[in-house]
């Protein structure tokens, strides 16, 4: 029951935050660059976050009405590592990705990050290693191609590709 009240408070806070940020997005200046307007992506993400927060609010209201929800005593006895293992892995691997960005670049670093994250969080089998490699190469490769050639964004090349560009 305490968890449901906490979820309700967080959902209400997220909806208020999204409302304020959505209102503030109307103050974003248009500098006249061709293409999408500068407020397009922030508004899209805020609308998406608002929708997810509304679902979170509905879910927390349903759990308040349902007092027969399973008790969370079992989860309370778990240690910090077993409870937050996946989040710690995500933050640690993302820190390593950011730290190595200047050296190995966005393309290789992104592929290594996605592969290692999928491998750490998923099941460690030969079939999954191959699948994780394919997903990492295709997803990061396509993202890199879109940002580099379609959107003309300069992504960090790293020391490896900087030597080839000379």
Residue at which a domain ends, from 77, 104, 136 = 77
Same domain? 57 vs 89: no
Has this prediction a pTM greater than 0.85?
A: no
Q: Is 88 helix (H, G, I), strand (E, B) or coil?
A: helix
Is there a contact between 117 and 90 (Cβ–Cβ < 8 Å)? yes
Question: In which domain, by residue range, is 160 found?
Answer: 79-166
**pLDDT: which is higher, 38 or 104:** 104
Same domain? 69 vs 91: no
Q: Which residues of 132-166 are buried (b: 16+ CB within 10 A; e: fewer)?
A: beeebeeebeeebeeeeeeeeeebbbbeeeeeeee
Same domain? 19 vs 37: yes
So what's the pLDDT on residue 26?
86
Model confidence at 66, in pLDDT bands (50, 70, 90)?
Answer: confident
So what's the pLDDT on residue 155?
79
The mean pLDDT value for 67-89 works out to 68
So what's the pLDDT on residue 75?
53
Q: Is 11 helix (H, G, I), strand (E, B) or coil?
A: helix
Same domain? 69 vs 103: no
Residue at which a domain ends, from 77, 102, 122 = 77
Same domain? 89 vs 148: yes
Q: Which residues lie below 8 Å from residue 114, measured CB to CB, with a gap of 6+?
A: 132, 135, 136, 139, 140
So what's the pLDDT on residue 85?
86
Domain count, the chain: 2
């Amino acid at each position: 029951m305490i968890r449901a009240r906490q979820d309700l408070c967080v959902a209400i806070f997220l909806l208020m935050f999204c409302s304020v940020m959505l209102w503030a997005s109307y103050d974003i200046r248009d500098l006249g660059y061709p293409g999408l307007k500068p407020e397009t992506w922030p508004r899209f993400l805020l609308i998406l976050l608002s929708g997810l927060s509304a679902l979170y609010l509905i879910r927390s209201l349903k759990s308040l009405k349902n007092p027969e929800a399973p008790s969370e005593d079992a989860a309370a006895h778990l240690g910090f590592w077993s409870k937050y293992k996946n989040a710690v892995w995500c933050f640690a691997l993302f820190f390593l990705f950011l730290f190595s960005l200047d050296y190995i670049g966005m393309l290789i670093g992104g592929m290594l990050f996605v592969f290692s994250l999928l491998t750490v969080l998923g099941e460690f089998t030969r079939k999954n290693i191959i699948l994780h490699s394919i997903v990492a190469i295709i997803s990061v490769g396509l993202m890199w191609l879109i940002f580099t050639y379609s959107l003309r964004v300069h992504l960090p090349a790293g020391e490896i590709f900087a030597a080839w560009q000379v």
